[in-house]
Amino acid sequence: MTQSKTWSGKVALITGGSRGIGRAIAEAMGRRGAKVAISYRSRREEAEEVVDRIRGVGGEAVAFAADLTTSKQADALVGAVYEYFGSIEILVNNAGITQDGLLTHMTDEMWEAVLAADLSSAFYCTRTVVRGMMRQRFGRIVQVGSVTGVIGNAGQSNYAAAKGGLISFSKAVAREVAHRGVTVNVVAPGYVETELTLTLSERVRTRAAGWVPMHRFATVQEVASAVCFFADPLQSYITGQVLCVDGGIAM
Ligand code: NDP
């Protein structure tokens, strides 16, 4: 395990850490020596696997179930992490879903579900966690956004609104907490190899990859590496930024 003194002992809460990008972030932070708490909505077995993998290489990890579309469960999650580890230095708001459809076919339910899972969840978790970060005068908040929130995407007006909102939310919070040693930044991935993109048809995947200047989807490790850049305790003078990890889509 490649531990770093600056990461050692820092507690990282990663929402949606049971699979995909969140899992890669959890494992990358665990390797750096952080104590890792992950949350999941329903897939307990996958979450326990992530915990076992981190513990298996000598790290500390724990998983909690929480549906982050309600502030009650978000507050309970943060309370559970405090009880288990005693503090939170790093928060990664990664949990999210998509429910795509052209605007004329988008139902109220599709709109509300995506806004709740991708934007309100980050608001609830950030609001609770930032109090402790301001008190301890140290914190790293990293939002997992999307390049769709930067440039838009047909068929994803709900997701674009949520991820675009996440960027503006982060910049506002970054201004509120900068003087307390808390940074807030956004990593905005393009297409990434996860379950979320595996649901796309082969035809759509090939067309999408062709549209990316690098002609391929990102690996989850490539996204995790950018998240770790912002979360690094030594990365103390960058805040309110959006970093696209998108193979060149948004340049
Ligand atoms: P996955 O679908 O693989 O994983 C989503 C994670 O979020 C799971 O851990 C899931 O828990 C959790 N989750 C979903 N809904 C809720 C909820 N209501 N409350 C709490 N947890 C929830 O997603 P990805 O890894 O692909 O995506 C992670 C993030 O990256 C998302 O924010 C996504 O928008 C963003 N992103 C992904 C891209 C991609 O191409 N994959 C591209 C750009 C951005 P459980 O396992 O229990 O269901």
DSSP assignment string, 206-228: HHHHHHSTTSSPBPHHHHHHHHH
Q: CB–CB of 238/183 below 8 Å?
A: yes
3-state secondary structure of 92: strand
Catalytic residue at 191?
no
Ligand 1 atom nearest to CA at 195: 3
Domain ranges of the chain: 11-245
- DSSP lists the bridge partners of residue 38 as 14, 63
Asked whether the CA dihedral 28, 33, 34, 39 is positive or negative, the reply is: positive
CATH superfamily of the 11-245 domain: NAD(P)-binding Rossmann-like Domain (3.40.50.720)
Ligand 1: distance of its center to the CA of 95 in Å?
A: 4
- Tokens representing residue 187 in the block: 């990593």
pLDDT tens figures, 128-144: 999 999 999 999 999 99
pLDDT tens figures, 182-240: 999 999 999 999 987 887 888 888 888 899 999 999 999 999 999 999 999 999 999 99
The yes-or-no verdict on residue 52 having pLDDT over 70 is: yes
Q: How far apart are CA 123 and CA 119, in angstroms?
A: 6
Ligand 1: distance of its center to the CA of 15 in Å?
A: 9
The yes-or-no verdict on residue 168 having pLDDT over 70 is: yes
The residue whose CA is least distant from atom 9 of ligand 1 is: 16
Please work out whether the CB of residue 186 comes within 6 Å of at least one atom of ligand 1: no
Give the amino acid at 44: R
CA triple 111-116-119, angle to 5 deg: 105
Q: CB–CB of 163/242 below 8 Å?
A: no
Please work out whether the CB of residue 100 comes within 6 Å of at least one atom of ligand 1: no
pTM for this structure?
A: 0.97
